[in-house]
Amino acid sequence: MVKKYGLKHVSTGDLLREEMQAKTKLGMMADSYISKGQLVPDDVVIGMLEELVANNHDVPGFIFDGFPRTLPQGKALDEMLAKHGERVSMVLSLELEDKELVDRLLKRGKISGRSDDTKEVIESRLKVYYDQTAPLKEFYKDQGKLVRITGQGSIDEIFESMTSVVDRIIA
């Protein structure tokens, strides 16, 4: 997606893991939430993103990955983009049955070494998803921006579904 559209990929999870590896104060604080499968507080994540958006005026667009994860984050993103005369163009919701999702994460855990890819933490992440993140679907549906995409299938097939939607919208 980044190559095809020249977008800047922003994964809040990756940014937080970099902080954890560098053992910064922010990273150590984030670790205490991530390792339990809880969300890092909104003000921390929003602050991180504000800086990034302000420092990247020149990019043709962003692909936010794993952000926003709560309604306050979604509202803050709208405000932060509006300050720069920008807006969310579309939201791609990659959807998969819980069982398949858990299987994939457990498989990833064997190679990722991520402290949150364990059965217990995955269960907590799923619960957090339904409680705090899923309501965002309604938020973006009301704005006519939500596109649901099946996460079932091969990487190539999912790439195809995503790009066909993006192509239609940017055409």
Q: Does 12 bind ligand AMP (CB under 6 A)?
A: yes
To ligand AMP, the closest distance from the beta carbon of 132 in angstroms equals 9
| Structure-token pair, residue 28 | 């150590």
To ligand AMP, the closest distance from the beta carbon of 102 in angstroms equals 14
Which residues lie closer than 8 Å to 70 by C-beta, 6 or more apart? 39, 42, 132, 133, 136
Output the residue with the shortest Cβ distance to ligand AMP.
13
Q: Does 13 bind ligand AMP (CB under 6 A)?
A: yes
Q: Which is nearer to ligand AMP, 13 or 27 (CB)?
A: 13
Binding-site string for ligand AMP from residue 110 to residue 129, where x marks contact by CB under 6 A and - marks none: ------x--------x----
Return residues touching ligand AMP (CB under 6 A). 12-13, 16, 33-34, 37-40, 45, 66-67, 69, 73, 116, 125
